[in-house]
Amino acid sequence: MIHENSVIDAVLFIAVLAPSIIFHEVAHGLVAARLGDPTARAAGRLTLNPIKHVDPFGSVILPAMLALGGQDVFGWAKPVPVNPNRFAHPTRGMAITALAGPATNLGLALVVGRLGPFEQVGGVVFITSNDLWARVLLGLLIVNAALAVFNMLPIPPLDGSRLLPLVLSDQGRLAYARISQYGFLVLVLLLFVFRGSLRFLGSWISWIIRLAV
């Protein structure tokens, strides 16, 4: 049996997840364009129109199923196309472009934390209102803090994986590119098979939430 509160929480989560991942993806495209790659602009992806970014399964169906089932929620948007060959320094350009997404989510979390009806007592953050708008702001704070941290994992295709090539040799980059195709499988295993393996991320997410409030 699915309780009404579970349904409301699932809908609320998707409502705050969608704009958060859209801003994340647009940030990638804007920075890529600034560094010399107009691919995202040519594809019409430098827009806040959700139709251009939302992946029906990754942005709506899967997060809803996980939220309703009381599981850790995971989701994604359509990746913004980037052509690293357009950058003057491809490896560095990809790293900077990748960082733009989590940095945007971190910025959103910090702004929402200041705007929301939150109070911190003894390192614990409380919401001081139970109205819908307060719950939306709380959701935005948590989701953006989580996106900022989760996407910095050095596992392809997450943004953190774009930083590793900066410290690898040319041969190491080729080897890393070959094994990157298995990154999504690794993520699935960590999230759904070896549950609890990413629990350590919670402390970083909590730290950002406390910092924002």
CB 134 within 8 A of CB 73: no
Nearest by Cα to 155 from 179, 126, 174: 179
Neighbour tally for 76: CB within 10 Å: 20
In angstroms, the CA 139 to CA 73 distance is 13
* Kind and range of the H or E run holding 200: none
Confidence grade of residue 1 (pLDDT, cut at 50, 70, 90) = very low
**Coarse DSSP helix, strand, coil percentages of the chain, rounded to the nearest 5 percent:** 65, 5, 30
Asked which of 51-55, 160-164, 206-210 is least confident by mean pLDDT, the reply is 51-55
- Is 119 a known active-site residue? no
CA 42 vs CA 94, 127, 133, 206: distances in Å: 18, 42, 36, 38
| Each residue's pLDDT tens digit, 185-208 | 998 888 778 878 888 988 999 999
| Tokens 């806040």, located at residue | 48
| Each residue's pLDDT tens digit, 95-118 | 999 999 999 999 999 999 999 899
pTM, two decimal places: 0.90
CB 102 within 8 A of CB 151: yes
* Alpha helix stretches (DSSP H) within 35-131: 39-42, 62-68, 90-115
Of 3 and 119, the one with more pLDDT: 119
**Given the residues 17, 25, 37, 118, the one annotated as active site:** 25
